[in-house]
Structure 1
Amino acid sequence: GWFGPVATAGLIQSINLGLYENFRRQMCAGTGRRHDESTPLAIVAASAACAGVCIAPITCPQQRVKIVQQLRGGSFGPTTRALWREGTLFRGFSANLLFECARSIYMMSYVSAKRGLQAMLDQPPTVSAARSGRADGGALPLWCRVLAGAAANVVTWAVIYPLDVVKTVQQSAPLGSRGADSRVLHCARELWREGGVRRLYRGISYTLLRAGPVAGVLLPLFDVSLAALERISSARPARR
């Protein structure tokens, strides 16, 4: 089950963060704000949720194929075709959609953490920093961004982990299975009956250990890359 995630992880993250940034700018424009000014957290959350809605149709089948491969074996292509033929390639879509939208907590936490660190370091946003795509972080050093990203992802996973468990249980159903557990609330109730909160948070320790380092790299790299691309774009002479 390694091929799908390896082949698509970078693309999915690029699409997700690109959509987030474009939604953020459009919402800022719609409320009369400049996109290079500090963005209200409500707009940050709404932008991330909209991006989640857009990528859910991509991540749902990718996750379904990966989980079935890990549990039952088989290569990527045949497994995908088999799930498509029986109509369960998008099994768990509702839970996956909620999960992707809930990543708005991630972006809000990241932006809030950057602002908090910025205030602690007494580094107010500068005009140059804002125009380089860093309005919500001022001139924060990279280590602060890494810390903010890691903390934000740990907080997010602590909140949305039960939803991920429900999604994974739904998508782990074998080929040919169709039942009531395909409904989000039914699956959640069954898991609760099995062991309450402990069942819904089973396996969270490993996830939290992984969450910090992964997000500690992802969002800071997005910040730095966006700023670099905007500098390159602004440095190009205008076409006549």
Structure 2
Amino acid sequence: MDLREFVAGTAGGTAGVFAGHPLDVVKTRLQSGNGTGVGATAADCFRKLFVKEGVKGFYRGILPPIVSNAPVSACVFSSYGWALRLIHGNERQHEASLREVTAAGFAAGVVSSVIVSPTELVKVRLQTHSHGGGPAQAMASGSGLGKAGLGVVGETYQCVRQIVKEGGLRNLFRGFNQTLIRESLSYACYFGSYEATLRAVTREGEDPTTLGILLAGSVSGMVVWGPVYPIDVVKTRIQACKSSTPDGTWRCFQKILTSEGVGGLFRGFSTTMVRAVPVNAITFLVFEQVQKSLPK
């Protein structure tokens, strides 16, 4: 494991989580399904969330991604560097071809899905639960999350306990197949588009500028969601509901198409695209700057 990549990836990922979590909550609420109290549009959902739960509601479920950030970053950047060394001969992505960078990103996504799947399950359950009632609370009915005064750590612990109670430790990996598909494809696009954009805006022989890194990070964040967004919606539906949603990808996909049409597969897409710009711009900027400042 490259310690520099681990530290820089953790710093960048943590910064990205804090920057984008409010919009991630809105996206998850929209993805979880139609219903009174959620809001039909991102703006409506944002307003209702603020009125019912205040600022705290926008940071519901933030502990799992923060806690998982270090191991996920370690897995992503270590496996990415490992794959790049196998394919290209060294881990310096700026010297590898775009095809090699993309292949290494795919490998990193496969590895990261093992950690991402259970932490996102907990995050989705917490985000789709509302103390103010409504469909989000209905989805989590019987989950034991409605106890007042638990705090972030307490709510997270209660959520994990309930998930295990529902179906054992195996239940923590509900939605794993969908997460695996999303992670592998998204990281392939993520690293590939970032490197392609960075090379396009950086003069040969010069170091990337801050503006160039921000631009490349923004582009990679937007590019990554196009191919995988429908599978992300399916994953969210499967993870948010205990029994009313089929746990098979194709069956869930068909159910959404039948009841909501194609639009159902892109609920919350605009929110995700808006969120992708600052999150990934900040993530890559912090990652590049921290890695550059650390001794080799």
TM-score band, normalised by shorter chain = 0.7 to 0.9
Structure 1 window deviating more from structure 2 (202-211 vs 38-47): it is 38-47
Spell out the pairing of 1:22-61 with structure 2 (5 A cutoff): 22-29=82-89, 35=92, 38-61=95-118
Say which of 179, 186, 192 aligns to 1:108: 192
Residue 69 of structure 1, CA deviation: 2.6
Residue 206 of structure 1, CA deviation: 1.0
Q: Secondary structure at the match of 1:51?
A: helix
Q: Which residue of 2 aligns with 1:199?
A: 264
Q: Which residue of 1 aligns with 2:290?
A: 225
Once the two structures are superposed, residues 177-212 of structure 1 have per-residue CA deviations (whole angstroms, 9 ceiling, x without a partner) of 286x11111111221222332111111111111110
Residue 37 of structure 1, CA deviation: 5.9
Q: Partners in 2 of 1:83 and 1:28 — Cα distance?
A: 42
Structure 2, unmatched stretches of 5+, are 1-60, 130-139, 146-154
Residue 53 of structure 1, CA deviation: 1.2
Q: Partners in 2 of 1:168 and 1:117 — Cα distance?
A: 36
Residue 67 of structure 1, CA deviation: 1.7
Spell out the pairing of 1:82-231 with structure 2 (5 A cutoff): 82-85=162-165, 86-87=167-168, 88-103=171-186, 104-118=188-202, 123-124=203-204, 126=205, 138-174=206-242, 177=243, 181-229=246-294
Say which of 55, 58, 76 aligns to 1:16: 76
The normalised TM-score by structure 2 is: 0.65
Spell out the pairing of 1:71-90 with structure 2 (5 A cutoff): 71=129, 72=140, 74=145, 75-85=155-165, 86-87=167-168, 88-90=171-173
Distance 1:47 1:189, change over 3 A: same
Structure with higher RCO (Cα < 8 A, 6+ apart):
2
Structure 1, unmatched stretches of 5+, are 127-137, 234-240
Structure 1 window deviating more from structure 2 (18-27 vs 154-163): it is 18-27
Q: Which residue of 2 aligns with 1:132?
A: none
> Of the two, which has the highest radius of gyration?
1
Q: Partners in 1 of 2:62 and 2:220 — Cα distance?
A: 26
* Structure 1 residue identity aligned to 2:248: R
Once the two structures are superposed, residues 135-166 of structure 1 have per-residue CA deviations (whole angstroms, 9 ceiling, x without a partner) of xxx41211111011101111211332111101
Are the counterparts in 1 of residues 68 and 116 from structure 2 also a CA contact under 8 Å?
Answer: no
